[in-house]
Amino acid sequence: MAMMSKRRQTLGIQIASALAIFIFIAYFFLPMTPQINPRSYENDNIPLPAKVHHDGYIARPPQQLTPVQPLDNNRWFGNKLDIIDFQKVKQPKNHVKAAFVILARNSDLTGVRFAMRQVEDRFNSKFNYPYVFLNEQDFTSEFKVATASLTKANTFYGKIDESMWSYPDHINQTHAAECRKDMSDRNIIYGGSEPYRHMCRYQSGFFFRHPLLDEYEYYWRVEPDVQYFCDIDYDVFQMMKDGGYKYGWTVSLTEYMDTIPTLWETAQKFIEKHPEYVIRGDDSLMPWITDDNFISYNGCHFWSNFEIGSLDFLRSRKYIDYFEHLDQTGGFFYERWGDAPVHSLAVAMMLKKSEVHFFNDIGYKHNPLMHCPTEPYLQEGCHCNPQENFDWTGWSCATRWRQRINANMVWDEQLYREKTAPYRLQQV
């Protein structure tokens, strides 16, 4: 009996040991119950919480946990779980509807991600404004996933209508090709590029007509590979709307006149045709764009690779009439009219001084030119070298702006604090 009892004891110890080993292995190595993971491609039937949108309402996102979810051929947005998803954020009734707009190709992915990372780190991680991506071709899934993963905000992807990225019927394409060759032979920048001309025409007269932008009031243009150097802790878009600003800029310079030999002449004909569209008198911006009492154009323009503007202005009858007047002459193809001087002439003709804002506090670089705030109170939140600031160099048009348009274009610290305080994030 003693022998049997000892055997049973030994067997019990062996069973207990085996059970302990099995539990240990199961705990660490066997699959657990699936968890909600916003990056998962498998968990297709787990409901997400409502996503808070910028206009104050709550929309229920689709019931698929994928980085980007197709809604139709043109609209995608990313689903990501965050604390804001579980809170109903009340926005003012006049809260601005705004978006970043990025015109890019699939091959620009690395540069786009670089720019987005800058925008998110400096500004948008705090405010979560959506991104609208536009392309003359279909965006790849890789592009959509890689861009949506950088932001908590919604991302939308649209294809450009072919009619807006092609030759209109009135253009002689043979003559256009001859003009490109001539400009290329003369080493005019982008003179031989056909895609560049389509891009400039699209940015001048069509991007704001894309259906993905229909619901928005303001846009912030972002291009691949640009850099942002300063923390922005207030709602730029809301300040623009409440302040009555319709256009914001950081860098201005003179255009290569060989690219726009007849643009000024064409604009003057438009002014003669529609004098009612042009702002005159003390509130006019026109003195900025001419040095000889309107005989010629001095080439001054806002560098439109950065611009924050009113979509309602671009959709207005006066701007559409202006673009169509320019487009009928063929200057986008027979010359090489850029969207920067086209936008700038429209702003100078049609907007008041009080409707245009210089964003001194937004440190920005599009190679090779940089705007870097030089004021100590702004430098505290920047990492650019103020000695590389382009503003007051000979090629810049900021000096003309300060002398002829607004001597107080650079806000002092007190005015800056007063103007931005209502839109600054509250510390908690």
Helices 317-329, 339-350: inter-axial angle, 10-degree rounding: 140
* Residue 163: φ, ψ to 5°: -65, -20
- In sequence order, the β-bridge partners of residue 295 are none
Count Cα neighbours of 259 within 13 Å in the Cβ-side half-sphere: 22
**CA dist., res. 289 & res. 306, Å (int):** 19
- Per the structure block, which two tokens stand in for 340? 């920067």
The phi, psi pair for 102, rounded to 5°, reads: -125, 115
What are the distances in angstroms from CA 271 to CA 217, 318, 326, 369? 27, 11, 12, 32
- Own/partner pairs, 309-313, CB within 8 angstroms, 24+ separation: 309/218, 309/219, 309/221, 309/246, 309/247, 309/248, 310/217, 310/218, 310/240, 310/245, 310/246, 310/247, 311/208, 311/213, 311/216, 311/217, 311/218, 311/219, 312/217, 312/246, 313/246, 313/247, 313/350, 313/351
- Looking at 255, 307, 335, 355, which residue is catalytic? 307
Residue 418 annotated in active site: no
CA distance 153 to 51: 10
The per-residue DSSP string of 224-286 comes to TT-EE-B---B-HHHHHHHTT--EEES-EEE--GGG-TTHHHHHHHHHHH-GGGS--GGG--G
Strands 364-366 and 131-135: unpaired
Contact 239, 310 (CB under 8 A): no
d(CA 265, CA 111): 37
The catalytic residues are 307
